[in-house]
């Protein structure tokens, strides 16, 4: 999945898991902040989104980590995190298949 497709998928995930009925994926700027300004998400939204990301992409993150907070800065940051977290798994499975 390329980065734009991943960003689009994450936007759709945000809308569905947080029940943002009045927002379309095109309304979400991939580089805009998700918290306070931008979408105005709060800590409960972050928890729900983290669970949804874990279920959809199999990524895990620490709730208290400053690094995790940086991943939630924007849709673009989340997409980069998911892509990076999935890359080692993809290369590990392809290595196993090569054997």
Give tens-digit pLDDT for 60-78.
Answer: 887 777 778 888 999 999 9
The pTM of the full predicted model, rounded to 2 decimals, is 0.83
Residue 94 lies in a domain: no
pLDDT at 32: 94
Supply the pLDDT for residue 93: 47
Angle between helices 3-17 and 75-98 (to 10 degrees): 120
14: CATH: 1.10.1200.10
pLDDT of residue 18: 96
Query: Based on the structure, what is the number of domains in the chain?
Result: 1
Q: Work out the average pLDDT over 34-55.
A: 91
Where in the sequence is the domain holding 44, given as residue range(s)?
Answer: 3-89
Average per-residue pLDDT for the chain: 86
- Measured from the Cβ of residue 55, the count of other Cβ atoms closer than 10 Å reads 11
Tell me if residue 33 falls in helix, strand or coil: coil
Query: Is it the case that residue 13 has pLDDT exceeding 90?
Result: yes
């Amino acid at each position: 999945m390329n980065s734009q497709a991943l960003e689009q998928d994450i936007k759709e995930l945000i809308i569905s898991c947080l029940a943002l009925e009045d927002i379309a994926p095109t309304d979400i700027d991939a580089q805009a902040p998700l918290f306070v300004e931008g979408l105005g998400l709060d800590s409960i939204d972050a928890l729900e989104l983290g669970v949804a990301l874990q279920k959809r992409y199999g990524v895990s993150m620490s709730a208290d980590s400053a690094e995790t907070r940086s991943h939630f800065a924007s849709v673009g940051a989340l997409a980069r995190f998911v892509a990076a977290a999935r890359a080692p798994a993809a290369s590990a499975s392809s290595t196993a298949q090569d054997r």
